[in-house]
Amino acid sequence: MRILMSVTLVLLAVAASGCSDPVSPQLIVGLWEQDGSPAGNSLQIQLALNGSAISGQGSWCGEALACGSTSTTGLVEGNKIHLITSFDNGRTEIFDGTLTSSNSLGGSVRGTSPGGPIQLPHAQVFHRLITDPPRTQ
Q: Where are the domains of the chain?
A: 24-128
Is the CATH code 2.40.128.30 the one for domain 24-128? yes
DSSP 25: G
Tell me the longest C-alpha to C-alpha distance in the chain.
69
What pLDDT, on the 0 to 100 scale, is given for residue 132? 54
Q: With 70 as the cut, is the pLDDT of residue 13 above it?
A: no
What pLDDT, on the 0 to 100 scale, is given for residue 39? 82
Kind plus residue range of the DSSP H or E element containing 9: helix 2-19
When pLDDT is cut at 50, 70 and 90, the band that residue 38 belongs to is confident
Q: How far apart are CA 116 and CA 122, in angstroms?
A: 17
pLDDT in tens, 54-109: 999 999 998 877 899 999 999 999 999 999 999 999 999 999 999 999 999 999 99
Around Cβ 76, how many Cβ atoms within 10 Å? 23
Kind plus residue range of the DSSP H or E element containing 37: none
Q: With 70 as the cut, is the pLDDT of residue 49 above it?
A: yes
What pLDDT, on the 0 to 100 scale, is given for residue 22? 63
What pLDDT, on the 0 to 100 scale, is given for residue 35? 93
